[in-house]
Amino acid sequence: MTDSETLRRIADALERLAPPPRLSADLGAHPAYHWDGRGLAAIAHFAPLPADLIVGVDRQKDAVTQNSLRLAQGHAAHDVLLWGARGMGKSALVKSVLAGLQADGLPVALVETTADQLASLPELFALLAGSDRRFILFIDDMAFEGDDAAPRRLRSLLEGGSEARPANVRLYVTSNRRNIVERRQDEEDAAVNARDVADDRLALADRFGLKLGFQYPDQPAFLEMVAAYAAHFSLDWNAADALAFAHQRGGRSGRIAWHYAVELAGRAGRGL
């Protein structure tokens, strides 16, 4: 085999291991996209629930709406951390608010990605920076466990790093943890390091200018959620049945209220 043939085979093998970036979807043509680390793909069916169906979190809804409106209008806006109880509509709220702004004709779009794509975000930012639109970069269910590099990378992207996000992009992150980073008992047991550990966690959470907490609803708030879904979809229901449904599933949340609406529609032989 000649040297040129050997080099060609090596080049082919390297290309298979690290394929070139894909061409990205038109940044002006779609309401939402997904970033996989190599390119942007349009999300085919972006149809969030109407924002008025997300009830029991009025303060959080108002804050997300106002901040997103500022971004969409080209004004100063915060990066946002939505933290707290599972199933309370954190991700649904972000998407519903965005869809409402798009319905009003504002030039803003959603880009979804995952926490394991942090290293590729500078490449994404380079693509988005050249657009006239504004973008919410949405990372759902973020948590770091035993990885010191990833939280520091996110801090750099949010503020102060050479690869920080451009002016037309803001990060919206959901997490079940207030500080995103897992608390490790071995760290907290070491008194000499306890303050450093706490400061390091807070340094990440404090990069978000807007932090919103979500708690599980009490019984009246849960029934308000059920009532909103039932009214919107014209479903018959009663409070005792709704509470029994929640009890069977281990508690009350916005997600359980939605599951109950699905159950009601199924009993009635209907779709939603």
For residue 234, what are the contacts with CB-CB under 8 A and spacing of at least 6? none
Tokens of 196: 């450093």
Q: What is the pLDDT of residue 207?
A: 86
For residue 171, what are the contacts with CB-CB under 8 A and spacing of at least 6? 79, 80, 137, 138, 139, 157, 158, 165, 208
* DSSP code at position 57: -
Mean pLDDT rounded to a whole number for the chain: 85
Q: What is the pLDDT of residue 46?
A: 93
- Beta-strand runs (E) in the chain: 32-35, 40-42, 80-84, 108-113, 134-139, 169-175, 210-214
* The CATH homologous superfamily of the domain defined by 32-214: P-loop containing nucleotide triphosphate hydrolases (3.40.50.300)
Single-letter code of the amino acid located at 111: V
Q: What is the pLDDT of residue 4?
A: 66
For residue 33, what are the β-bridge partners?
Answer: 42, 111
Single-letter code of the amino acid located at 132: D
Q: What is the pLDDT of residues 209-267, one digit of tens each?
A: 999 999 999 999 999 999 999 999 999 999 999 999 999 999 999 999 999 999 999 99
Q: Do the strands 169-175 and 40-42 form a parallel or antiparallel pair, or are they unpaired?
A: unpaired
Residue 202 pLDDT class (50, 70, 90 cuts): low
**Three-class DSSP category at 151:** helix
Task: Decide: 116 and 207 in contact? Cβ < 8 Å.
Answer: no
Task: Decide: 259 and 229 in contact? Cβ < 8 Å.
Answer: no
- The ranges assigned to domains in the chain are 32-214, 219-267
Task: Decide: 72 and 108 in contact? Cβ < 8 Å.
Answer: yes
Q: Does the pLDDT at position 69 exceed 60?
A: yes
CA 102 to chain CA centroid, Å, is: 18
Single-letter code of the amino acid located at 177: R
**Three-class DSSP category at 176:** coil
Tokens of 259: 């599951």
Q: What is the pLDDT of residue 23?
A: 55
Tokens of 223: 């029934």
Task: Decide: 159 and 179 in contact? Cβ < 8 Å.
Answer: no
Q: Average pLDDT in the 52-81 region?
A: 96
Q: What is the pLDDT of residue 116?
A: 87
For tokens 């709220």, name the residue. Answer: 93
Residue 6 pLDDT class (50, 70, 90 cuts): low
Q: What is the pLDDT of residues 119-163, one digit of tens each?
A: 899 999 999 998 999 999 999 988 776 556 777 778 777 775 666
Task: Decide: 162 and 121 in contact? Cβ < 8 Å.
Answer: no
**Using CA atoms, how far apart are residues 91 and 58, in angstroms rounded to an integer?**
15
Q: Does the pLDDT at position 186 exceed 90?
A: no
